[in-house]
Amino acid sequence: MKRDRIYSLPHDRVGSFAFDEQVVEVFPDMIARSVPGYASILAMIQQLAARFAQAKTNVYDLGCSLGAATLLIQRQVPQDCVIHAVDNAPAMVERLQMKLQHSERQTGVAEVRVHQADVCQFPMTNASFVVLNLTLQFIPKDQRAALLTAIADAIVPGGALLLSEKICFDDLGQQSLLNDLHHDFKRANGYSDLEIAQKRTALEDRLLPETMQTHIDRLETAGFDCVAPWFQCFNFASILAVKAESAA
């Protein structure tokens, strides 16, 4: 795993963050050192996949990046599920396809199909478990409600969505405190103040966080029956949204 040094030297101009070849090379290190609680969220995705994925249904990892969640899900779901790993970044998709080719074909596990596509346009049906792990925050705000409604419509009774996001806060003191704690987390993981500042600049027009309540309200409006925030570490959080079982 290559160490993330993308922003270690001064940039004359810091452009918008992109999931390109440069990021792909260091992405596992970057996300582990940047997102507090990331390993805990992945572990819970694996556990939830085992609970909610149903036989002969589809499972979707939307914004799959290098497939960390996809590969954990594959070990847990019924063999007759199909896992759709979807990402719009060509570099991410190419690297994940290479990774799967090296390991294919495992016996006794569900099939994984990798798609380079816009998650907002990707057709979904007969879904029992859907993952949006640090993905919605990169989608324009005016498209988020429609995506969540499409997910809710595609999920079968008893199925679930796992949504993880960077969040913001209405209270300015809370926002400032948790931002500072997040930056302390990055420093503790070896990032310099220069790296933190330059990456923040790169992300400011790409990663657009919202409050926890905004996410909860949108999920309820989309049609989920139970919306349960289950995790928060500083300014990162995860929510489980479940469709009710059909009435007997």
Is 133 labelled a binding residue?
Answer: yes
For residues 245 and 69, give the distance between their C-alpha atoms in angstroms, rounded to a whole number.
25
pLDDT of residue 169: 98
For tokens 């569900």, name the residue.
110
Over residues 22-36, the mean pLDDT reads 97
Is 63 labelled a binding residue?
Answer: yes
pLDDT of residue 206: 94
Over residues 173-185, the mean pLDDT reads 98
On the question of pLDDT at 246 being above 70, the answer is: yes
pLDDT of residue 1: 74
For 185, 199, 203, 237, the CA distances from 13, given in Å and listed in that order, are: 26, 12, 13, 31
Is 16 labelled a binding residue?
Answer: no
Is 12 labelled a binding residue?
Answer: no
Residues 6+ apart with CB under 8 A from 29: 1, 2, 3, 4
pLDDT in tens, 185-208: 999 999 999 999 999 999 999 999
- What are the chain's domains? 21-235 (3.40.50.150)
- DSSP letter string, 7-54: TSS--SS------SHHHHHHHHHHHHHHSTTHHHHHHHHHHHHHHH--
Over residues 24-33, the mean pLDDT reads 97
pLDDT of residue 26: 98
Is 200 labelled a binding residue?
Answer: yes
For residues 224 and 152, give the distance between their C-alpha atoms in angstroms, rounded to a whole number.
6
pLDDT of residue 101: 85
Is 88 labelled a binding residue?
Answer: yes
pLDDT of residue 146: 98
pLDDT category at 6 given cuts 50, 70, 90 is very high
Is 206 labelled a binding residue?
Answer: no
On the question of pLDDT at 240 being above 90, the answer is: yes
For residues 62 and 122, give the distance between their C-alpha atoms in angstroms, rounded to a whole number.
9
pLDDT of residue 102: 74
- Per-residue buried b or exposed e for 138-148, using 16+ beta carbons within 10 Å of the residue's own CB: ebeeeebeebb
Is 108 labelled a binding residue?
Answer: no
On the question of pLDDT at 64 being above 90, the answer is: yes
Is 173 labelled a binding residue?
Answer: no
For residues 212 and 232, give the distance between their C-alpha atoms in angstroms, rounded to a whole number.
10
On the question of pLDDT at 223 being above 80, the answer is: yes
Is 87 labelled a binding residue?
Answer: yes
Over residues 149-169, the mean pLDDT reads 98
Picking from 138, 171, 136, 167, the residue whose alpha carbon sits closest to that of residue 151 is: 136
Over residues 29-43, the mean pLDDT reads 98
pLDDT in tens, 111-153: 999 999 999 999 999 999 999 999 999 999 999 999 999 999 9
On the question of pLDDT at 106 being above 70, the answer is: no
Q: How many residues does the chain have?
A: 248
What average pLDDT does the chain have? Answer: 96
